[in-house]
Amino acid sequence: MPDRETVNIRPSVGYLSILQAINYRAWYAIAEFVDNSLQSYLHSKTKLKKLHGNNFKLKIAIYVTPSTIKIVDNAAGIGEEDYQRAFRAAARPENRQGLSEFGMGMKTAACWFSKNWVVQTKPLGEKNLKIVQWDISNIVNDDIEELDVKKTPLPVNQHYTEITLTDLNRVPRGQTIKKIKDHLASMYRCFLEKNEVEIRYNNEKLKYTKPEALQAPYFRDIDEQKKNPKKINWEKKFDFKYGNKKNATGFASIRETASTKDAGFALFRRNRLIKGVGENEGYRPLEIFKTPNSFIYQRVFGEIHLNDEDVTHTKDDFQWTPEDETIFLKKLKEELEKEPKAILSQADRFRKDRRSRDLKIQSEEGLGASIKKMQGGIAVLEDYTPPKQPPISTKLPEAKSKQRKRKTIRFEGNDWTIEQILNYDKDETEWLKISEIGKKKKEIQIQISMTMGFTAQYFGDQPDEIEGMLLMASYIALAEVVARNRGDSKAHNVRSYLNEILRSQPPSINY
């Protein structure tokens, strides 16, 4: 009778019973099995290619039904030198430079998903298929510290691992399935793009599609009205040192199509994505990306490889301190703004043709929301009559909190001095005010309320957005001045009606 072989699962079997309650997400749990398959392949890559040829590809198949989750690969299996360690919780491998470094992944993910699971592995170059079965309830209740290993002879050159999870604690459904597929394709994009690895979910081959980069002239060339400005591919590579001799490599790009959900950086370590995968989960620190309504937030994306950083045991974040991250971000921002491609400035200042397809799609949403407010806006004026001939102020009352700029312009051969005033007083009730003194040579004040709900809600906080609002308000004001200058006694009416609508209609901002 052959000797009985067992595998030790210490240090504490009670620990296994609580793994199903940890804060985990399905895609990160399944990624642990993929990591193990990849690490087995990478460790034995030379042997596998020698056996099968240079075209050998790692294939990982994930099958999910309401009762079973199965992960199968054609990697090199769990060899004799790793077998005992692989089944012990928190037993870290000697070589921690790969994707399996904590000795936790397979056990944590399997126990999180399932109460019963079986590992079958046939190591390359060994004679036997080995099978270990885990029944968590029995292990915990009986305080079992060793599991039997069943062996079946198979050809030496055969190799694979199959993990089958049953009696499931949770089953991927609905949107979770979509997220698993999208996240895995994104996490392992470096391997998928090289056609080195194939991952399938219920026979569907996973594929990562890189966002298309903007092809457009530099915004400075447009501002300077250069003739036929050259189009640039807005992607740049970088490689820089930060902190204590740490290295960051990767690329940054500007999306051809803006996206509030899918922009931002993906952060990798050892070619495996750690942070920034999924909708609204891109790495978009405020120091670089500003607020969610900024163009940088919606347009900039890229990949950053940080192989010198430590990660959490669930491999979904880095362990850097706020101070470490601040140092990294400062250097990253410098790299992004280096000429000849200042990525952040271009993303912030470049404006696409409003006739383009993506902006038409985005504009349609704003058009739909705007038309719904028409009835409420016009209803305000039903019982409102503007003053017949209001006195024209020669100087506006001083706002307590303000910013101002002056400029002299020429109109019909005369000098007009224009002063734009931004009023930050919270009790202001008129969105647009005008003062005027002089006939041919004029001094005109144009004051815009920056605290009324209309301004705060719709015009954002970026320089170009503020510029557009000020120009629109100023052009309304100047049109009134010109109309009055040419004898229109009711030129004030449009501004009066406008102020009444904006004073009476939402949104109102509470401070």
Name the CATH code of domain 6-205 (choices 3.30.565.10, 3.30.70.141, 3.40.50.300, 3.40.50.2300): 3.30.565.10
Distances (CA, A) of 426 to 148, 174, 431, 451, 479: 75, 47, 12, 6, 27
Confidence of residue 202 (pLDDT cuts 50, 70, 90): very high
Tell me: pLDDT of 463 over 50. Answer: yes
Tally Cβ neighbours within 10 Å of residue 193: 12
- Percent of residues, the chain, with pLDDT higher than 70: 87
Q: Which two tokens stand for residue 67?
A: 């009762």
The strand pairing partners of 242, in sequence order, are: 246
Tell me: pLDDT of 88 over 80. Answer: no
Q: Which two tokens stand for residue 216?
A: 């457009």
Tally Cβ neighbours within 10 Å of residue 50: 11
Tell me: pLDDT of 102 over 60. Answer: no
Half-sphere exposure of 96 (CA within 13 A, CB side): 13
CB 119 within 8 A of CB 131: yes
Per-residue model confidence (pLDDT) at position 509: 39
Q: Which two tokens stand for residue 232?
A: 């640039």
Mean pLDDT in residue range 4-31: 69
Cβ-based neighbours of 210, under 8 Å, separated by 6 or more = 189
DSSP, collapsed to helix, strand or coil, labels residue 253 as strand
Per-residue model confidence (pLDDT) at position 407: 92
Separation CA 324–CA 326 (nearest Å): 5
**CA 23 to chain centroid:** 21
Per-residue model confidence (pLDDT) at position 504: 81
Residue type present at position 353: D
Q: Which two tokens stand for residue 94?
A: 């000697």
CATH 3.30.230 location in the chain: 215-349
Confidence of residue 35 (pLDDT cuts 50, 70, 90): very high
Burial 485-496 (b: 16+ CB within 10 A, else e): beeeeebbbebb
Tally Cβ neighbours within 10 Å of residue 163: 21
Per-residue model confidence (pLDDT) at position 20: 65
Separation CA 480–CA 447 (nearest Å): 14
Q: Which two tokens stand for residue 375?
A: 């009835």
Burial 357-379 (b: 16+ CB within 10 A, else e): eeeeebeeeeeeeeeeeeeeeee
Confidence of residue 214 (pLDDT cuts 50, 70, 90): very high
Confidence of residue 349 (pLDDT cuts 50, 70, 90): confident
Tell me: pLDDT of 336 over 90. Answer: yes
Separation CA 406–CA 424 (nearest Å): 18
Separation CA 10–CA 3 (nearest Å): 21
CATH number for the segment(s) 215-349: 3.30.230
CB 341 within 8 A of CB 236: yes
Cβ-based neighbours of 244, under 8 Å, separated by 6 or more = none
CB 396 within 8 A of CB 421: yes
| pLDDT tens digits for range 353-383 | 544 555 566 567 677 777 777 788 778 888 8
Overall pTM > 0.85: no
CB 405 within 8 A of CB 420: yes
Confidence of residue 289 (pLDDT cuts 50, 70, 90): very high
Considering only CA atoms, which of 305, 240, 243 is closest in space to residue 270? 305
CB 265 within 8 A of CB 289: no
Per-residue model confidence (pLDDT) at position 16: 60
Q: What H or E segment, with its residue span, contains residue 177?
A: helix 175-187
Q: Which two tokens stand for residue 3?
A: 């000797």
Please, what is the average pLDDT of the chain? 85
CATH 3.30.565.10 location in the chain: 6-205
Per-residue model confidence (pLDDT) at position 464: 67
Per-residue model confidence (pLDDT) at position 468: 83
Mean pLDDT in residue range 458-463: 68
Residue type present at position 319: Q
Considering only CA atoms, which of 272, 98, 119 is closest in space to residue 197? 272
Q: Which two tokens stand for residue 156?
A: 């030496």
With 0-12 / 13-18 / 19 or more C-beta atoms within 10 angstroms meaning exposed / middle / buried, residue 477 is buried
Residue type present at position 192: L
